[in-house]
């Protein structure tokens, strides 16, 4: 089978690609070709795999070519992130709305020509939810919570969910939308995302570096590990239409955890010296953004597919540590634990 991962050079996309290549099959079919599109090339280990073909450039510039070949399945992960979209309205429209529309239309045209219906998994986001003064905001968001996005990013993700549901209803695709919870612990450097600190307060202390938490320890949020997120995307791909039981998007599982719980887990796993590298210094701008986020999530439809969150945040930290130990820079990334 031939698969496409848009955003295949990114953190989640590259991890998904590695997992698929290691499995060798998806939905019982052998993976022969894995096309990764992104604005930057994927990591070298992926490029070294003979099954991988990398294409670099914006997704919009690549949809015409995509519409001329047969893909059995697509993981559509390419996206500008929330902070970028708030700063650049056009970027959000182009990267998250127009690109998805163009990709869907390219696949639809191909389906019309070949009568083969590709499976399509869209990475949506917990950002489709938000508080609106007109409605009671449950805080903990379920599969059927009324979406009220408070960002352009969340708006476009939600619009794409509904568009994919309609293309699926018409038989142009076999689509499903998985709403990702916040993925921690992300490796690498802090970025401009307001959620960046959720990874930073674990990653930096483990590396022996001080970290500032900009929100109160009582702030709670649904979290997922990288491996769980990738596993969720694959499970949603492999689910039958009957298992999905309806066309709407579904929440991926998250562990609903307070910042205080995260730091307690850090101390449990890595000791008090590492924990002591985190200090609280409230940032009103970030605290205001985070106050619009759900304090937790439920994922009953994903649970029916066998997906479960970790039961303890310590497991998410241990996954990150294991990833670091398997990587080339463990001496740096885990310097705080020495």
Q: Give catalytic residue positions.
A: 153
Stretch that binds a second copy, among 13-21, 147-155, 192-200, 212-220 (CB under 8 A): 147-155
Closest CA to 169 of 96, 270, 230, 244: 244
> How many Å is the maximal CA-CA distance in the chain?
62
Interaction of residue 149 with a second copy, rule CB under 8 A: yes
Closest CA to 96 of 6, 14, 166: 6
Figure out which of the listed residues 96, 155, 195, 295 binds a second copy, where binding follows CB under 8 A. Answer: 155
Stretch that binds a second copy, among 114-122, 156-164, 221-229, 291-299 (CB under 8 A): 156-164
CA-based Rg of the chain, rounded to a whole angstrom? Answer: 20
Cβ closest to a second copy, residue 149 vs residue 253: 149
Helix (H, G, I), strand (E, B) or coil at 32: coil
Figure out which of the listed residues 45, 49, 64, 132 binds a second copy, where binding follows CB under 8 A. Answer: 132
Interaction of residue 165 with a second copy, rule CB under 8 A: yes
* Residue list 7-46, contact with a second copy (CB under 8 A): none
Figure out which of the listed residues 28, 133, 188, 272 binds a second copy, where binding follows CB under 8 A. Answer: 133
Closest CA to 111 of 161, 164, 171, 62: 171
HSE-CB of 53 using CA atoms within 13 angstroms: 9
CB–CB of 292/130 below 8 Å?
Answer: yes
Alpha-carbon distances of 316 from 44, 178, 227, 278, rounded to whole Å? 26, 20, 9, 18
Q: How many CB atoms within 10 Å of residue 199? A: 22
Interaction of residue 307 with a second copy, rule CB under 8 A: no
From residue 232 to residue 251, the character string flagging contacts with a second copy as x (rule: CB under 8 A) and all else as - is: ------------xxxxx-x-
Interaction of residue 99 with a second copy, rule CB under 8 A: no
- Residue 242's DSSP bridge partners are none
Instruction: List, in order, residues 6 or more apart from 239 with CB less than 8 Å away.
Output: 176, 305
Interaction of residue 143 with a second copy, rule CB under 8 A: yes
From residue 251 to residue 290, the character string flagging contacts with a second copy as x (rule: CB under 8 A) and all else as - is: ----------------------------------------
Stretch that binds a second copy, among 9-17, 129-137, 222-230, 261-269 (CB under 8 A): 129-137
Kindly list the residues in this chain that would bind a second copy in the complex (CB under 8 A). 89, 132-135, 143-150, 152, 155, 158-159, 162-163, 165-166, 169-170, 244-248, 250, 301
């Amino acid at each position: 089978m031939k698969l496409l991962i848009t955003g295949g050079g990114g953190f989640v996309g590259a991890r998904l690609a590695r997992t698929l290549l290691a499995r060798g099959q998806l939905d019982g079919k052998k993976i022969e070709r894995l096309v990764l599109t992104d604005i930057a090339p994927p990591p070298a280990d992926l490029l070294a795999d003979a099954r991988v073909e990398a294409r670099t450039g914006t997704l919009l510039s690549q949809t015409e070519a995509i519409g001329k070949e047969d893909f059995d399945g697509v993981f559509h992960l390419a996206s500008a992130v929330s902070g970028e979209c708030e700063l650049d309205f056009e970027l959000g429209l182009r990267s998250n709305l127009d690109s998805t529309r163009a990709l869907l239309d390219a696949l639809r045209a191909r389906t019309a020509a070949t009568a083969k219906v590709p499976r399509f998994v869209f990475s949506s986001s917990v950002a489709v939810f938000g508080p609106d003064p007109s409605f009671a905001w449950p805080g903990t968001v379920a599969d059927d919570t009324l979406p009220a996005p408070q960002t352009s990013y969340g708006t476009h993700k939600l619009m794409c969910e509904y568009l994919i549901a309609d293309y699926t209803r018409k038989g142009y695709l076999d689509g499903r939308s998985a709403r990702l919870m916040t993925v921690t612990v992300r490796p690498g450097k802090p970025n401009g995302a307001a959620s960046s600190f959720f990874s930073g307060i674990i990653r930096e202390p483990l590396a022996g570096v001080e970290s500032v938490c900009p929100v109160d320890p009582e702030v709670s949020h649904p979290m997922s590990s990288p491996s769980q997120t990738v596993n969720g995307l694959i499970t949603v791909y492999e689910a039958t239409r009957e298992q999905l039981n309806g066309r709407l998007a579904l929440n991926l599982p998250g562990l609903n955890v307070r910042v205080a719980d995260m730091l307690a887990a850090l101390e449990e796993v890595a000791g008090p010296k590492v924990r002591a590298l985190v200090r609280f210094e409230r940032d009103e701008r970030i605290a205001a953004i985070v106050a619009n986020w759900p304090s937790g999530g439920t994922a009953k439809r994903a649970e029916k597919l066998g997906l479960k969150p970790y039961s303890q945040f310590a497991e998410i930290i241990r996954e990150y540590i294991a990833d670091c130990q398997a990587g080339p820079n463990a001496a740096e990334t885990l310097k705080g634990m020495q």
